[in-house]
Structure 1
Amino acid sequence: MSVTREAPKGILGFPVAPFDGNGRLDEKALATNIEFLLKEGLTSIFIACGSGEFQSINKSEYQTMVEVAQSVVNGKVPVYTGVGGNLSTAKELVSLSEDLGADGYLILPPYLIEGEQEGLYQYFKAIVESSNLNAILYQRDNAVLQLDTLKRLLDYPQIVGLKDGLGNMELNIELTQTIGDRLDWINGMPFAEITMPAYYPLGFTTYSSAISNYLPHISRIYFQALKDGDQQLLRNLYNDVLLPINDIRKSRNGYAVSLIKAGMEIVGLPVGNVVRPPVISVEKEHYKQLEQIIQTTLEKYPVSVSETLSS
């Protein structure tokens, strides 16, 4: 367990939940996914979260995923888990994560109910005070904290970060400029590279990257260009890679998850293109489009090319 009260920095790794042809969790493929992320320099592993189909895995599968992550990571980087659902289940998963040696957890939105601020406060409070593990709040969907509510929660030192998947920039400015460096700010939008130029000046110097599961060198080149202010390289990456992939992602609900698996399969990672309902697999036409984008990307931006590329 980590005693450092800060969230992981840089580009965060979010593995998928690989399923075999019979729909069972594929532990070997999961280990390969995590090994790939570590080899590519991702700064942390967030296991059994949104890209890991948290909503579709049972407790036994959840435990297996965390155990595989811990075994592969072996202390090299922090391991965070996803927790959520009803309050009892969320607390149970926090306890399990702690028992399995996780460094912290990401609190996913509660099921269905759009609670009042006091209800959200009580929900997050009950989870956070159940453990000494680091906690990251996830701002999205039906779990949107306003400034006064977030400030109340900051009485708990366990809360080390806020991940924003909402995209309300007025609220983000209010939160970041009032609270400052008490929290680490994480861009958790569905395709974070698309919005990172708006987030970065506000203090969101960390983000979760879906395409790091299959084009991690593009994430690294992109993030370095953003930090260096290399506008030409950023424009090239947007037009050549990021915007075309994002167009596919937006075409179907659930592609934020299944498109990752499709990309991984295209580059040769043994994940397969199997997802669990209500998520749907990538349709053949979109799969071919993604395949072409990846092929063109690897030709124009080979993995061996220096990450200081500027044209």
Structure 2
Amino acid sequence: MVTKKRQAPSGILGFPVAPMNEQGKLDLNGLEANIDFLLKEGLSSIFVACGAGEFHALSNEEYRLIVEVAVERVKGSVPLYTGVGGNITSALEQTKISEELGVDGYLIMPPYLINPSQDGLYNYLSEIIGNTDLNAIVYNRDNCILNADTLRRLCEFPQLIGFKDGVGNMEQIAEFTHLFGDRLAWINGMPLAEVTMEAYINLGFRSYSSAISNYIPHISAMYYEALLSGDKEMAHNLYEEIILPIHRIRSQKKGYAVSLIKAGMKAIGLPVSLHVRAPVAKVEDQHYEQLKEIINKASQKYPAKAATTLK
């Protein structure tokens, strides 16, 4: 077994969607276009079949197809990660598919249905992490919220390289970054992560998953650059004029974490339809038009050529 490079992706992380046609079937050509767009725009890594990629609604046959497409499009140019998780049997099958197809690692999604104890979470996560030599990132959210002792035990696995937070408990995150320091890469995985990234940067986070990078990646890059460089005026303007208005639309309906991304991609002309799989609902027409208006404003006032994507 070849030992993997134990270094987590940094900067702005790209999370493609799972494009669907009118019959609800995977549109692999749309997926290729999505991945190619993210690579062209300089995203630091690609994470397929995760939350934005409707992980919850994929069969393992579809999962394999998505990973195959991603491997072929990325061609090792940036780190490639998959999502694994749900019930333990499927999670272990997904890690083996990921290993077989040669990705760099995976993000572990929360377990299915059960709200486990900390020892139960440890058993779940450690079984997945230990199943391959691939790099692993744990996702702190929903029914997979870790305490310090559990995370400390998981850090005994060299495969564990990162911690993605989707909860926003600043007291807990401050404790974790203090206790574990640079043992782990710290990734902001909050909904529309740009909304909270300023706070996370102050706690040592330098990476985040960006939903809006699927359609306005230059805005995410400009905002991140402004935060890192201390350009408070630029950060404030981008937040007030673009990021917060999109967040307000996103907050209108559960499931928009997925469907609003597809709406933004359609609005800029990428070959991705608005179709999603149940229980996620399509974006409503009024919200689609509101999003288009924000995207147009962003393109006019902050043209893409002015951005510098950071890794």
Fold-level match, TM-score > 0.5?
yes
Q: CA deviation at 1:73?
A: 0.4
How many equivalent residue pairs?
308
In structure 2, C-alpha distance between the alignment counterparts of 1:2 and 1:31, rounded to whole Å: 29
Match of 1:172 in 2: 173
Q: Show CA shifts across 1:137-166 (max 9, x none).
A: 000000001001100111100000000011
One-letter amino acid of the counterpart of residue 30, structure 1: L
Secondary structure of 1:3's aligned partner: coil
Q: Conserved in 2, the CA contact under 8 Å of 1:19 and 1:272? A: yes
In structure 2, C-alpha distance between the alignment counterparts of 1:307 and 1:28, rounded to whole Å: 28
Match of 2:248 in 1: 247
Q: Does 1:283 align with 2:284?
A: yes
Match of 1:111 in 2: 112
Superposition TM-score, scaled by structure 1 size: 0.97
Match of 2:124 in 1: 123
In structure 1, C-alpha distance between the alignment counterparts of 2:140 and 2:284, rounded to whole Å: 30
Match of 1:17 in 2: 18
In structure 2, C-alpha distance between the alignment counterparts of 1:37 and 1:250, rounded to whole Å: 25
In structure 1, C-alpha distance between the alignment counterparts of 2:37 and 2:238, rounded to whole Å: 22
Q: Conserved in 1, the CA contact under 8 Å of 2:3 and 2:133? A: no
One-letter amino acid of the counterpart of residue 269, structure 2: G
Q: CA deviation at 1:170?
A: 0.6
Secondary structure of 1:132's aligned partner: coil
Give percent identity, aligned residues only: 56
Structure 2, unpaired ranges of 5+: none
In structure 2, C-alpha distance between the alignment counterparts of 1:304 and 1:224, rounded to whole Å: 14
In structure 2, C-alpha distance between the alignment counterparts of 1:33 and 1:307, rounded to whole Å: 20
Match of 1:75 in 2: 76
Match of 1:258 in 2: 259
Q: Conserved in 2, the CA contact under 8 Å of 1:90 and 1:127? A: yes
Q: Show CA shifts across 1:22-57 (max 9, x none).
A: 111001110000000000000111000000000011
Q: Does 1:97 align with 2:88?
A: no
Alignment of 1:1-311 (within 5 A): 3-307=4-308
Q: CA deviation at 1:304?
A: 2.0
Q: CA deviation at 1:108?
A: 0.1
The 3 A distance-change label for structure 1 pair 153 and 306 is closer
Q: CA deviation at 1:3?
A: 1.6
Q: Conserved in 1, the CA contact under 8 Å of 2:218 and 2:307? A: no
Q: Conserved in 2, the CA contact under 8 Å of 1:2 and 1:103? A: no
Q: Conserved in 2, the CA contact under 8 Å of 1:16 and 1:30? A: yes
Structure 1, unpaired ranges of 5+: none
The 3 A distance-change label for structure 1 pair 29 and 123 is same
Q: Show CA shifts across 1:102-137 (max 9, x none).
A: 100000000111111010011101111111110000
In structure 1, C-alpha distance between the alignment counterparts of 2:46 and 2:158, rounded to whole Å: 22
In structure 2, C-alpha distance between the alignment counterparts of 1:210 and 1:120, rounded to whole Å: 27
Q: CA deviation at 1:306?
A: 4.9
Q: CA deviation at 1:305?
A: 2.4
Q: CA deviation at 1:307?
A: 4.3
Q: Conserved in 2, the CA contact under 8 Å of 1:134 and 1:160? A: yes
RCO higher in structure (CA 8 A, sep ≥6): 2
Q: Show CA shifts across 1:249-271 (max 9, x none).
A: 00100001100000000000001
